[in-house]
Amino acid sequence: MDKGDGSIRYILMGEGAGTTFTIDDSTGDIHAIQRLDREVKGQYVLRAQARNRLTDWPLEPESQFIVKIQDINDNEPRFPDGPYRASVPEMSSIGTSVIQLTATDADDPTYGNSARVVYSILEGQPYFSVDAKTGLVRVSLADMDRETRENYTVVIQAKDMGGQLGGLAGTTTVSISLSDVNDNPPMFDQMGSVVGRIWAKDRDVGVNAEMTYSIIDGDGRETFDISTDPSNLFGIITIKKPLDFESKRSYTLKVEGANSQQDPASRLRGAFKDVTIVHVSVEDVDEAPVFDSPAYYIEVAEDAQIDTVIGVVSARDPDAANNTMR
């Protein structure tokens, strides 16, 4: 019915009418008067009607229509929970899972590739890798040793448009630490430790470093004993029989330090052990003289003269020096 003579006036009602959209009341053309963001509002429901410009009488019923905002790639992927922290047992095999990462993209996943994310690793090779489709971070270098290096920083990128040129990207960091497994044998501080407290070092930590000690050989097995202190770190050597410098001046002990903890995460099996030789030197102390007899019986005549010799007693010095008695 519109003959183009200006007798018809078009009006617009509904969501965003007059604020987001406007209508040319002479032609019926609808224009957006504000920037449209699909991620804020994806569609608008509007109503339009033609009326007589002079009488304002409706020339038709209201027509309803939907304005759907078409997506463009204007949002980069984001890691909502980053940065991340993760831990993986040392000595893990290649392919061991470390952490699952998920990036989100606010663009429309049903339209084009704007929200199709591909993952890649920017920093952290050759120790770790990431699955391009799933974002799962894995170990990519076998037998990493916590005692050599404990902490790693990995940078992961998520890029939309399927990773193609022109896609938008977001990054996050993952701080990965190696947890300890029992993979180190103990080592004694030195050979030839003196009697007292000895220590076998274990580079593992926690229960993986707890030690037990035993005397496995030597001529002092019957004279000395060894126990583990309450901290499970030190071996305490004690005397269980009296020592006599004049009878035996030194002993040799063969001591074993063992860590028998079995860590399920370790691929190594069997107790970890080390052996050291402990030389024990007995020091001389000044002992009291000893008489040849515990008691003497001497008879003397009652009329014996002064200075008469009535008998002899004898004492000796049990020390190696054999000092003169007086």
Q: Residue 313 in contact with residue 326, Cβ under 8 Å?
A: no
Is the pLDDT at 266 greater than 60? The verdict is no
User: What's the pLDDT tens digit per position in 39-96?
Assistant: 889 899 999 999 999 999 999 999 999 999 888 888 899 999 989 999 999 999 999 9
Q: Residue 84 in contact with residue 173, Cβ under 8 Å?
A: yes
Which domains occur in the chain, in start order?
8-68 (2.60.40.60), 84-179 (2.60.40.60), 187-281 (2.60.40.60)
Q: Residue 99 in contact with residue 131, Cβ under 8 Å?
A: no
Q: What is the mean pLDDT of residues 228-243?
A: 85
11/255 Cα distance (integer angstroms): 100
Is the pLDDT at 189 greater than 50? The verdict is yes
pLDDT at 50: 95
pLDDT at 270: 54
- 229 token code pair: 């202190």
- Output Rg (C-alpha) for the chain, integer angstroms: 47
Q: Measured over all CA atoms, what is the biggest interatomic distance in the chain, rounded to whole angstroms?
A: 176
114/88 Cα distance (integer angstroms): 34
pLDDT at 285: 84
Task: Look at residues 137, 130, 132 and name the one whose alpha carbon lies nearest to residue 85.
Answer: 137
Q: Which residue has the higher pLDDT, 234 or 293?
A: 293
Task: Look at residues 126, 130, 127, 128 and name the one whose alpha carbon lies nearest to residue 157.
Answer: 130
Contacts of 290 (CB under 8 A, 6+ apart): 315, 316, 318
Residue 191: pLDDT band (50, 70, 90) is very low
User: What's the pLDDT tens digit per position in 98-140?
Assistant: 999 999 998 888 877 888 999 999 999 999 999 999 999 999 9
pLDDT at 321: 75
The identity of residue 223, as a single letter, is T
Give pTM, 2 decimals.
Answer: 0.56
- 54 token code pair: 């002079």
